[in-house]
Structure 1
Amino acid sequence: MYQAVIVDDEAFIVEGLKNAIDWEGYHIEIACAVTSPVLALDYLKNNQVHLLITDVSMPEMDGLSLLKQAKELLPLLSVIVLSAYDHFEYVRTSLRYGAENYLLKPLDPDELADTISQLVNHMQEREELSKTYGRAMLNFRSTFIENWVKNSLSTEDLRTRAGLLGIDLEAGHFFSVIFSSLNANSSTMSRFFDHLLSYLPGSYLGHFYFANPTCLVCVFTALDPQSLDTSVFLKDIIKASAHLRLPVFASSGNTVKHFSEVPLSYQQAAAYQFLKYTPIPIHIYEESKSLEAFLLKFQAAYETGNPDTVLQVLDTLYTGKIPAPFSATLSKAILSVLLAHLNLEPEDMILQHPDLLQLLKDFPSPGSTVTDYKGYMAEFYKYLHSLDDMIKQSMYPCVDAVIKALEKFQDKDISLKTLAHKLNVTPSYLGTIFKQQTGYYFNDYLTEARLLHAAHLIEHTDMKMKDIVERVGFSSQTYFNRSFKRFYNVSPVAFRRQKKVK
């Protein structure tokens, strides 16, 4: 369990924070909750703490001083600063001292939960990064780029922090790329990073962060979009890397005009990260633009749950009339659809299902025929269908019960604690096995379930938005709108409008 310290000079706020969210659902234990920043600092000096939540204005010591001293004691400590005042200087100073977020009172429980969810993911990644890269990569710029691609900041916060870092959000023509290596030797990505930087001067601006020691996430923007071909740029990098014996896979998203579309470009790149386990060295999403009609046809067949229907559709998609290179692109896209249903990160897929690794390695090599690709995709689908059945049969009964409870969504106040009580297990145990079986923290899964249920209500009913927000359990419409847009990359109102047009 991660250890957290809460400090605020108002006792009722400390108590409120302790009960504001389901902390155990994020594997967090409130180890110390006090009204004295001096006592909090003493506790930090003598204990291993992962998260500090502190008020800014306190009589014994202000929160910014506590933050500064706490980060000196524990450089990897995650910090959330609270204040009743939206004062720009406070925000800038807290971010400069290393705070991950600055929340205004009165706190919105959903906003707090959202921040905690992000921080837990950051803490896990930082544990890995600190072993390899030390403190150099764990800075404000890296955190900002990660928040940008994952759509974790409001437009106002994004502009403010970009301004502090000197990042021009109006440059336009952004595209996201994820570079990854299967080589566990950390020097591979370090050397590749130096190699990558040599390609940028005079052509591209790049913003980066390491998602883990073998995965580098980049946002590029071309200095002269009219004269540069991003496809050629990436293929040259990967080809040169191979000559340098730096085996790296690259997956890129579409080029987008506006900074707010960067998360979509990142999602497109991330959707094809599984290809790093195949013989394919690079995937460029823009080359898949012509596949939408084919994928919709396959998706409709897949959702029937009938293997015969799926195999029949695969047979019609791979006809002798289409060229082999198109078959390769189509196969990669269908693999993305199939693997997305596992709801696992690529690394988790391979760890939990080692047979999948060999199947990915067997992806047809360049020069294969349409028949080769069709046969491979039929085999791959049959394997995943049997794997899905096996997962359902082996799932812990209580995890299955939790998933079914969330699918029914009859209780908007559902929580890890209430479900654990019904199943006669501890919240900590239920949270642990839920993460092991699904790859999700319970509260992240719950938020996604709420958004999926909300999308269903928006599309299939005429309920007012405020009633939907209440029905699915969000505490405010503002937070719901932000979460919905982050998940679907469109506002709830625009989502309803699009569905009605269709």
Structure 2
Amino acid sequence: MGGADGRYRVILVDDEPMILRSLRAAIPWDELNLEVVGEAKSGDGALRLAREVSPHLIVSDIRMPGMDGITLLKELKADQERRLIVFISGYGEFEYAREALREGAFDYLLKPIDHEELTETISRAVKIIDQQTADDQMLHSVKMLSLLARERMLTEFIEGNRSPLQHMQWLEDSELEHGYIMAVVQLDHYLRLNEQWSLDEKRLWLFAVRNVLEEWCVLHGGLTVFPFRSGEWVLLFPNLNDERQVEIGRDLVDLIKRNTKLSCSVGFSANVKGIDQLGGAYELAVHALYQRFYSGEEGVYTGSAITDIPAEISSEAKYPKHLEIKIVESVRTLHKERLLELFDQTKAYIEEHGYNRDMTQRLLVELSVVVYRQFEHMQVLFEWSLEELLQELYTSDTLQQLMDAVKNRFSQWMTESRMAQSKANVRTVMGKAKEYIEDNYQKDLTIEEVSELADLSISHFCTLFKSTTGYTFLEYLTECRIKKAKSILLNSDVKVYQVAPLVGYQDPRYFTQVFKKITGQTPSEFREAVSHT
């Protein structure tokens, strides 16, 4: 995996400080999803640094004092066979370069360095690293999992946790064709626990639960176990009857409580067959868990226990799925007026189909659980829980009372969500970020610096900045620099090579390349063309 922000790590190696500075400044590392994590001026220093920071890519001179590039390559390959090394060599060092390729170097370039050529080479290396990372993360069997399971496994990998793979018996198609059942384990009150725990405590508790489940699964014939959402795990078993499901579920609940002091609930799907049923099995198991809101926490719930749902609403055609989708979207976008309008449409739908009190309660409970889960995914925590809303639904006697309970509660939650997210108006924050870039373009400005100014994570800042301005951070910074460069070229006699540092480029040659890429002309051509108009 990459660094904390997902970028691949790079170290630069050369005994000439000027070349090191040029490499750091001239290559668009951020754009390539790379981070320069260190520099070394000798082969010995590079080897020590590589063992310390474990880079994905090394860009190195081939002849240096002490340990040369070939020896460094051999040592690095011995430590990590797939690590990529790009060598830079002089014209008189071709034999060294050829030997480096034989020993497994990714590529070599001749001095003087052509930064465009080097950028293209590094871009190719990134594609190789991307593929290696994908291969490591997915392995060969993940491709056979359903889209639902695959998405969650990818989420787990993105979070940097690969340990589920170490004890996982990967599923062959034939194993699932014999039939299986899915259990979903959810920690009770997880959102509240997540609010109370520090980051280290959260990692510790989730790691403890994961270990308990993995060890239990190995000992009791489970097919596999893996984390799904935070505070939730999926287990697959060969077909089980209802009695065995309850027995296993209670065993899991007791085991987790005994080892971690945490309470959980377990929901089971019906017996299913085939890999293509994984997504459906998950929905069945989660649907079984909806009963937790009727019976209380720390329970075991099977799919057979909910077969008494009337056909009118157990059928997908009768449940207002189209309204559910729109309601969830209104919550996601915090559109309160639209939410209330959709609840009115839900009331009209219930009246149209003539649902009695019990059927209406069931429908609204299921809808409330879905909407509440959307609030949970948005990391919104309230003073009260969903159980309070469900209790209010159970004590309501009329359709109007039922709908008022749902509308009032979710309307209030929506208002609180807006307040929680009004800490910073996105356009205002992005406006300040743009002003800061426009005022500081001539400096060595980094995305980390501007993200910190906006009080946002780098990934969140990038998303908001792109959606607000239409530019990536690097594109906007480049636009500001080139715009200012044009102004200087038009309104002063400053020499072209002197313009570069005035607009944030320490390497005039790279400045010229960027200017031409943006305008279609070199700075000199631009100045000359304008002077003749």
The TM-score, its normalising length taken from structure 1, stands at 0.48
Higher relative contact order (CA 8 A, sep 6+): 1
